[in-house]
Amino acid sequence: MDPLPQSLEITGEKHDDNSPPSSAPVMNSIQEEENTIEPSAFPQPPGFHTPLPKSKAVFNSPADSTPKPALQSPSLPRPPHAFYASYEGNNSSSSLIYNPSFTFGDTNTSSPTAAQAPQTPQQQQLRPPTSAGSQSSATKQSNRQSRYIPGPKLAPPTTRTRSPTRSSSPDTRVKRNSRPSSALFEAPFNLAPPPSMQTPPPSSASSNTRAMFRKGHRYKHSSVSMNFFQEPEVKIPLNIAKSLPIPNFNDLTKNLSWPRAHFQLLLTFIQLCMCLLIFQLGHHNSWSNFGTLSHFVAYDVIGSIAIIFVENLSQFEVWSTGTITYPFGLNRIEVLISFSLAVSLCFVGLDLLFHMAEEFIVLFVELNHDNHEDIAPQIPHSHHGASNLFSKDSNFTLWYPVLVFNLLISMVSLYKIFYANKYSKLKTKNPIITITYTLYLLLYPSIVGYFSAISDYLAAILIATIILFHGITIAEWTSTILLLGFSTTTLPRNHFLGDTLAESSQQGQLDTMIKKRSISGPVLTEENAVPPKRSSSWFPWTRSSKVGHNNDTTVLKSVMKEEIEKLPEFLAKCTMHYDNFFVAKVSFNLYVVLVNVTLRGGSDADELNLRLAVDKCIRRILPNAETTVEIDRI
Amino acid sequence: MPLQQRLAMVPLLLSYPTVILSNDLIIPVELGFHRMLILPLFSATTSTAVACAFKPGMPSQVAVFLWAVAFLLFELALLLGPVQASSLFLVIAELVLAIDSEGGRRSRLSAMGRRLAPLPLVSFAISWVRGRSYKALLTPCLSYLLLSAAVAIVYPRATVLLKTAMRFQQRQEQQQHQETFQSQHNEAPATGAKVRSTAIPLAALTFSLGLYLFSSLQPLMVFVFIGCLGVFFLSLSDAIEEQGPNFVLQNWIVCAVGVLAAVLQYLSFNTLSASPTGDLLTAVFVASCELISQRIIGSSSTAATVSDKSAGGQETPYKHFHSHHHSHAHEKSVLSQVAHDPGTRSIFSFLLLNTTFMFVQLLYSFRSKSLGLLSDSLHMALDCTSLLLGLVAGVLARRPPSDKYPFGLGHLETLAGFTNGVLLLGIVCGIFVEALSRLLHPTAVQETNELLVVATLGLVVNLFGLLAFDHGGHTEDSNNENMRGIFLHILADTLGSVGVIVSTVLIKITKFHIFDPVASIFIGSLILLSAIPLLKSTISSLLLRLDDRKHNLVKTALNQISTTPGINGYTTPRFWPSSSEGSVHSHSHSHSHSHSHSQAQQEDCDDEHDLHTHKGTFTLVGYIHIQHVEGENSTIIKKRVEKIFEGVGIKAWLQVEPNDSQCWCRAPSITQSVTLQSKANL
């Protein structure tokens, strides 16, 4: 995949004058979101951004600022050295991958510009004079941040001299110091870090100074004196990665996890060869069954490649990290691939069905008019050769070995690729279809005597139907996720009726809930009213379509709302509208819940408690939800 | 008449003769005289059943009437042959429409007789040429007797029915805003319709079963017949709702139908009538029908200006129940929504045309036992499916948000475009595989002539499609990925036809069979090249990717937030392009109170807010958690942030929290767990 040029443009401006000459493997990071978890001690009170000589020393030695393993996710064993090198156009933005052992581009071609994060002038201007970071909390923070923040491996700061003379305006400083620093629970992106944080962020400090260093705009607001010139009041770096590089093909190939992915690729290659062999064999001997089988195998190959691709891609930071450009990361690629595979599955099934229909029609024509000699051989996938298949073919000795080998390969690929994928949750497990069909073909010669004419039709139609059904199911489910819908497919059933509700009178409660809902919600009222009449028509599309034909969502949403309203923290003064309660699924394992609550009166503590309780309540039903509780206080 | 309407007529004109012709082929001729009775009975029942299926709320009078008219039509078709029957029936329909309002019954009948006088003579001449015996004259004699009897009996009933239907319709229109009345009113017809919509198909089914058992019914022809009937009724209702019931009153329509019917008959029987003179006379018949219809139109247009246009409830008998369906417009089905949407209308009519053509091909392939045609028509069926998919998606995308789709279905169009792209990829793969195997094992292409004809016809149809697309909604929203997908699909088909034609011609000239796979590979790569940009753009928008402009928007907002005093930081700013405004409208409450601020806001931040032209449209939707300094008023903070987001046109859910409070967005364990959950296979 190409690195997206648009994202590069945003942060693409380079400052060539201050690039360190180091060729050490460094990572480009986005400066705005740098959280500066630099390990060097910086004995300054936070908010005081005058660079000290000590920090300068840190800046000047890029080796010191090599990324620390602090940020590494414990789940992934990583070598301590992380290479974040520039690669072609990729270097202008941050090159971050989740697993530091993965590399972007050529590891040894880190261009000098790669060492520093480029900034647009605007960002420079907004550069905070200081930023928080602490050695002590580095590990902890890194864990927190690994989701949204690329990591601490900031580029070594520039070595150019900075003017330490100018400090921030007195206002700013006063304001800053007046801020209560909460050491108990410091957010990773706090502006005012707690006093316990000792480290000033060297790199960010350097970038701050860059802003001061500019000469052009010094008098921009004031014609009176530069004493009154105020630094733009921007302190907070953007806490989110603007964009993370999209790994391209080279990155992917370089980061294949050694034994596993290679084995899988080998397996896929064998499958591919198998597919071609079967196709050739079928073509040569006019075994139409083999043609069909080769289609299935080809489809398996595509599925395997998709899985390997996703598994590899999911190692990169951009996979799970939300950026501005990709708010939920590239997670959705998985959903998208599942969807497209399901669609193509439907396509294959439909194609097969049409072939069957074609042959069926031909059969009819033949029954009516006895002239099938001239028409049968022309059919591409005709099964008419079946009767004399085994008598004349010397190649029949190949039948069983090929099939058995294929069965073996399919089995292995099923268990080693499709079931073994830890990271991806692709929903295509279709070697099962191949295996089924292969088994049928193994049996085929023995049953050919009895009802060969129909067994082929039956098997093909059956398989096609299964494929179609399977494909449609997956497509419907994944499309719901792609459309940011509330997909309840993977949720356990007891969420609908069971444990979350009080035991007594569940059903009645639910009914009243739904009734209540249908009164309040105009959409549902229509839907409830319409179906009984419409269902009399023969054509399913005249019914009110798929929107809301699944009542599960309504039920579950009602349950959730009811649960929230039953909370003790949900006081009598709180109101919550059903229409302002949004649940959406954005990827295979992430729900987004947006709640809107109006609170009449109440203290800050009430608000906080309410929010926490709502969050907890939702989390009980949807464990992987990102809840946002918007509380309006009147 | 605009081109779009003309295009909408094409499927109607094609399906009408096809219905008649396929009806003729359902039971082989050998059956003899019984055929004359059984077949029209069956066909009439079937067509009524199909009509009932399409319009569930049809009153029973109309159903009976429809049955009678269909019976008459099919009987005529049997007696006179498809060409004569189709044009004759059309002329009569025009007559009924044109001279309905004036005079009494007798005068009307005599007027009809006067107008139609030359036609029986030509018919007699045709059958005389065919049979050269007095027995042959029996059939036209019989048919015209039947026709006049039918006109005498059915016609007054038709006017009565029309009137009642009009009254019914008016009443319903009056009550349309009174929903309660409406539902009560609908009750009775609904139950009746329910009974009918089960009874009539059942009757048709038993009929066909009996026919199949006792005589040699051709199930494939029945399939074609029913399919064509479906297309016919669909396009008929489409045309009526577009142009009113008087759309039949157009010049050259009879001629077109006659010519089409003749072509179809020639295709399936290889003869028109027995002799060249018969052919000539048939042509004369069609021409005289056209002449008569032109005279009728001429007279009716003067009459129409006099008579009230809105009282034009005069319709051909089996049309007025369609307009009756108008009253149900407020609860349209998806299909009718597709048909009435101005953007997709022309493409819908192309879809109908494609379907009709598919059935024609199917019919012809059964007759000629040609496999190329058969597989081509099945390919067309796939095309139609994907076209329908795209159209339905286009309509569904305008649905309001629901519980299941809280942010609306706006992305559905993108999804449909993506699906079309994936299907195109599949087709391309199929083409490549086929071409490669052809390259490896060259096979001689047989029946090049037939192939040429089929490909040319397909090319013509697809050119119609491209034309429809140009005059459809394509021009104004070129960024609509759904439409782009459909367009690419049609384009691919057109290219395919061109490729087949070129390669076939080349093969004919040079005798090198290599051209066939080469041409298909070339076309396959063309399709691939056109599909890839579509796939790219749909993928990036399905991944909720923000383009540069939106990215900058978010950046601006975040920068403003970070400069806002009292705010400590923020987490999880997640914003994605809003697919539709619907979800946002339902949630505009939180911004109503900050409206007064927004003007002041707009004065001081004057950069790049021009896209936020009016309140209520948001380019982005999303949520963010804001951490404020301890001791600050969270409400004030919230208002400030809201103002910022409002200023840049972002709909944001805000969770304002004290800095040291607990939240999943900062709690290490939870964040970690969520992050890891995407890693671990749960």
Give residue-wise pLDDT tens across range A294-306. Answer: 888 888 888 888 8
For residue A590, list chain B residues with Cβ-Cβ distance below 8 A. Answer: 674, 678
Is the Cβ pair A182, B656 closer than 8 Å? Answer: no
Same domain as B156, residue B261 = yes
**Alpha carbon of A505: minimum distance to chain B alpha carbons (Å):** 24
The answer, yes or no, to whether residue A610 has pLDDT greater than 80, is: yes
The answer, yes or no, to whether residue B677 has pLDDT greater than 60, is: no
Partner residue facing B562 (CB), from A186, A234, A582: A234
Same domain as B531, residue B562 = no
The answer, yes or no, to whether residue B665 has pLDDT greater than 60, is: yes
Is the Cβ pair A187, B545 closer than 8 Å? Answer: no
Same domain as A230, residue A106 = yes
- What residues of chain A, 586 to 625, have a C-beta less than 8 Å from chain B? 586-587, 589-590, 592, 594, 596, 604, 607-608, 611-612, 615, 619, 624
Q: Which of A183, A216, A248 is the last residue of a domain?
A: A248
A350 touches chain B (CB under 8 A): yes
Same domain as B494, residue B562 = no
Q: How many helices (H) and strands (E) does chain B have?
A: 25, 3
> Which residues pair with residue B575 across a beta bridge?
B622
Is the Cβ pair B676, A75 closer than 8 Å? Answer: yes
The answer, yes or no, to whether residue A4 has pLDDT greater than 70, is: no
Same domain as A332, residue A478 = yes
Chains A and B form CB pairs within 8 A to the count of 357
- Residue B339 within a domain: no
Band (pLDDT 50/70/90 cuts) for residue B667 is low
- Residue B370 within a domain: no
Residue B432 CB-density burial (10 A; 0-12 exposed, 13-18 middle, 19+ buried): middle
Backbone angles phi, psi at A632, to 5 degrees: -95, 125
Same domain as A268, residue A242 = no
- What residues of chain B, 537 to 596, have a C-beta less than 8 Å from chain A? 539, 542-548, 551-552, 554-555, 558-559, 561-563, 565, 567-576, 579, 583, 586-587, 589-590
Band (pLDDT 50/70/90 cuts) for residue A269 is very high
The chain-wide mean pLDDT, for chain A, equals 60
Distance between CA atoms of residues A62 and A156, nearest Å: 5
Taking residue A423's Cβ as centre, other Cβ atoms within 10 Å add up to: 19
**Alpha carbon of A350: minimum distance to chain B alpha carbons (Å):** 8
Same domain as A55, residue A145 = yes
Is the Cβ pair B190, A380 closer than 8 Å? Answer: no
- Residue B378 within a domain: no
Band (pLDDT 50/70/90 cuts) for residue B194 is low
Report the pLDDT value the prediction gives residue B79, as an integer from 0 to 100. 75
A632 touches chain B (CB under 8 A): yes
| Mean of pLDDT values over A268-286 | 85
Q: Which of A97, A347, A530 to mutate to test the interface with B (most CBs of B within 10 A)?
A: A347
Partner residue facing B407 (CB), from A354, A380, A584: A584
**CATH code for the domain in which residue A587 is found:** 3.30.70.1350
DSSP-assigned states of every residue in B118-164: HHHHHHHHHHHHHH-STTTTHHHHHHHHHHHHHHHHHHHHHHHHHHH
A8 touches chain B (CB under 8 A): no
Q: 């059935």: which residue's tokens?
A: B359
| Mean of pLDDT values over B301-317 | 42
Evaluated on CA atoms B56, B60, B62, B63, the torsion sign reads positive
B604 touches chain A (CB under 8 A): no
Is the Cβ pair B422, A364 closer than 8 Å? Answer: no
pLDDT digit string, tens, across residues B443-477: 766 666 777 877 888 888 888 878 777 655 544 44
Same domain as A188, residue A218 = yes
Band (pLDDT 50/70/90 cuts) for residue B261 is confident
For residue B369, list chain A residues with Cβ-Cβ distance below 8 A. Answer: 365, 369, 371, 375
Distance between CA atoms of residues A437 and A456, nearest Å: 11
Q: How far is CA B320 from the centre of its chain?
A: 20
**Do the beta carbons of residue B222 and residue B359 sit within 8 Å?**
no
Same domain as A277, residue A384 = yes
- What residues of chain A, 511 to 540, have a C-beta less than 8 Å from chain B? 521, 523-524, 530, 533-534, 536-539
Band (pLDDT 50/70/90 cuts) for residue B286 is confident
- Residue B234 within a domain: yes
Q: Which of B515, B542, B569 is the last residue of a domain?
A: B542
Same domain as A194, residue A272 = no
Same domain as B297, residue B186 = yes
Report the pLDDT value the prediction gives residue B357, as an integer from 0 to 100. 83
Report the share of chain B in percent with pLDDT over 70.
Answer: 61
Question: Structural domain tally of chain B?
Answer: 3
- Residue A207 within a domain: yes
The answer, yes or no, to whether residue B586 has pLDDT greater than 50, is: no
pLDDT digit string, tens, across residues B13-55: 777 878 877 777 777 666 566 667 777 777 787 777 777 777 6
Partner residue facing B404 (CB), from A375, A485, A533: A485
Q: Which of B266, B296, B331 is the last residue of a domain?
A: B331
The answer, yes or no, to whether residue B260 has pLDDT greater than 70, is: yes
**Alpha carbon of A162: minimum distance to chain B alpha carbons (Å):** 24
| Mean of pLDDT values over A446-474 | 78
Same domain as A501, residue A443 = no
Parent domain of A146: 1-248
Report the pLDDT value the prediction gives residue A465, as an integer from 0 to 100. 87
3-state secondary structure of A532: helix
A130 touches chain B (CB under 8 A): no
Helix then strand then coil, in percent of chain A rounded to 5, is 50, 5, 45
Q: Which of B314, B331, B348 is the last residue of a domain?
A: B331
pLDDT digit string, tens, across residues A346-393: 888 888 888 787 777 777 666 655 544 444 444 444 444 444 455 455
Band (pLDDT 50/70/90 cuts) for residue B527 is confident
User: Of residues B332 and B283, which shows the higher confidence score?
Assistant: B283
Is the Cβ pair A187, B555 closer than 8 Å? Answer: no
- Residue B357 within a domain: no
Same domain as B511, residue B618 = no
The answer, yes or no, to whether residue A541 has pLDDT greater than 70, is: no
| Mean of pLDDT values over A551-572 | 78
Question: Structural domain tally of chain A?
Answer: 3
Report the pLDDT value the prediction gives residue B29, as an integer from 0 to 100. 64
Residue B475 CB-density burial (10 A; 0-12 exposed, 13-18 middle, 19+ buried): exposed
Band (pLDDT 50/70/90 cuts) for residue A394 is low
Minimum CA–CA partner of B587 in chain A = A580
Taking residue B222's Cβ as centre, other Cβ atoms within 10 Å add up to: 22
Q: Which of A248, A269, A299 is the last residue of a domain?
A: A248
- Residue B318 within a domain: yes
The answer, yes or no, to whether residue B221 has pLDDT greater than 70, is: yes
| Mean of pLDDT values over A550-579 | 78
Is the Cβ pair A328, B574 closer than 8 Å? Answer: yes
Same domain as B585, residue B518 = no
Report the pLDDT value the prediction gives residue B351, as an integer from 0 to 100. 82
The chain-wide mean pLDDT, for chain B, equals 70
- Residue A170 within a domain: yes
Is the Cβ pair B333, A542 closer than 8 Å? Answer: yes
For A418, the enclosing helix (H) or strand (E) is: none
Write the CA distances from A448 to A289, A352, A441, A444, integer angstroms.
13, 21, 10, 6
Lowest-confidence segment of A370-384, A412-426, B90-104, B283-297 by average pLDDT:
A370-384
A272 touches chain B (CB under 8 A): no
The closest alpha carbon to B97, from B318, B390, B275, belongs to B318
Same domain as B567, residue B511 = no
Parent domain of B312: 3-331
Same domain as B558, residue B515 = no
Same domain as B508, residue B452 = yes
- Residue A533 within a domain: no
Same domain as B296, residue B155 = yes
The answer, yes or no, to whether residue A398 has pLDDT greater than 60, is: yes
pLDDT digit string, tens, across residues A100-138: 444 444 444 333 333 333 443 444 343 343 333 333 334
The answer, yes or no, to whether residue A229 has pLDDT greater than 70, is: no
Report the pLDDT value the prediction gives residue B439, as an integer from 0 to 100. 81
The answer, yes or no, to whether residue B178 has pLDDT greater than 60, is: no
- Residue B485 within a domain: yes
Report the pLDDT value the prediction gives residue A429, as an integer from 0 to 100. 62
The answer, yes or no, to whether residue B510 has pLDDT greater than 70, is: yes
Is the Cβ pair A185, B406 closer than 8 Å? Answer: no
Report the pLDDT value the prediction gives residue A56, as an integer from 0 to 100. 38
Is the Cβ pair B539, A336 closer than 8 Å? Answer: yes
Report the share of chain A in percent with pLDDT over 90.
Answer: 1
Same domain as A236, residue A261 = no
Distance between CA atoms of residues A452 and A573, nearest Å: 74
- Residue A539 within a domain: no
The residue type of A633 is R
- Residue A489 within a domain: no
ipTM above 0.90, yes or no: no
**Do the beta carbons of residue A604 and residue A573 sit within 8 Å?**
no
pLDDT digit string, tens, across residues A86-99: 333 333 333 344 44
**CATH code for the domain in which residue B491 is found:** 1.20.1510.10
Partner residue facing B622 (CB), from A180, A327, A539: A327
Minimum CA–CA partner of A541 in chain B = B334
Evaluated on CA atoms B105, B106, B111, B114, the torsion sign reads positive
Distance between CA atoms of residues A325 and B543, nearest Å: 10
pLDDT digit string, tens, across residues A156-165: 444 343 444 4
User: Of residues B197 and A476, which shows the higher confidence score?
Assistant: A476
Report the pLDDT value the prediction gives residue A313, as an integer from 0 to 100. 82
- What residues of chain A, 389 to 428, have a C-beta less than 8 Å from chain B? 421-423, 425
Same domain as A201, residue A115 = yes
- Residue B327 within a domain: yes
Cβ neighbours for A148, distance < 8 A, ≥ 6 positions apart: A33, A239, A240, A241, A321, A322, B571, B572
pLDDT digit string, tens, across residues B366-409: 766 666 677 777 778 878 888 888 888 878 877 777 777 877 77
Minimum CA–CA partner of B398 in chain A = A547
B672 touches chain A (CB under 8 A): yes
Same domain as A510, residue A454 = no
For A632, the enclosing helix (H) or strand (E) is: strand A625-633
**Do the beta carbons of residue B264 and residue B360 sit within 8 Å?**
yes
Is the Cβ pair B661, A185 closer than 8 Å? Answer: yes
Same domain as B449, residue B316 = no
The answer, yes or no, to whether residue B420 has pLDDT greater than 80, is: yes
Same domain as B526, residue B564 = no
- Residue A534 within a domain: no
**Alpha carbon of B547: minimum distance to chain A alpha carbons (Å):** 7
Distance between CA atoms of residues B468 and B460, nearest Å: 12
The residue type of A606 is D
A633 touches chain B (CB under 8 A): yes
Report the share of chain B in percent with pLDDT over 90.
Answer: 0
pLDDT digit string, tens, across residues A130-184: 333 333 334 344 444 334 444 444 444 443 434 444 444 444 444 444 344 333 3
